[in-house]
Amino acid sequence: DQQVKQNSPSLSVQEGRISILNCDYTNSMFDYFLWYKKYPAEGPTFLISISSIKDKNEDGRFTVFLNKSAKHLSLHIVPSQPGDSAVYFCAASEGGSNYKLTFGKGTLLTVNP
Partner 1 sequence: NAGVMQNPRHLVRRRGQEARLRCSPMKGHSHVYWYRQLPEEGLKFMVYLQKENIIDESGMPKERFSAEFPKEGPSILRIQQVVRGDSAAYFCASSPLGASSYEQYFGPGTRLTVT
Binding residues for partner 1, rule: CB under 8 A, are 4, 6, 32, 34, 36, 41-46, 49, 89, 91, 93, 95, 98-106
Residue 90 vs 111, nearer CB to partner 1: 90
Residue 45 vs 67, nearer CB to partner 1: 45
What's the min distance (Å) between Cβ of 17 and partner 1?
26
Residue 17 vs 105, nearer CB to partner 1: 105
Contact 106, 87 (CB under 8 A): yes
d(CA 54, CA 81): 27
Q: Is 60 exposed, middle or buried (0-12, 13-18, 19+ CB in 10 A)?
A: exposed
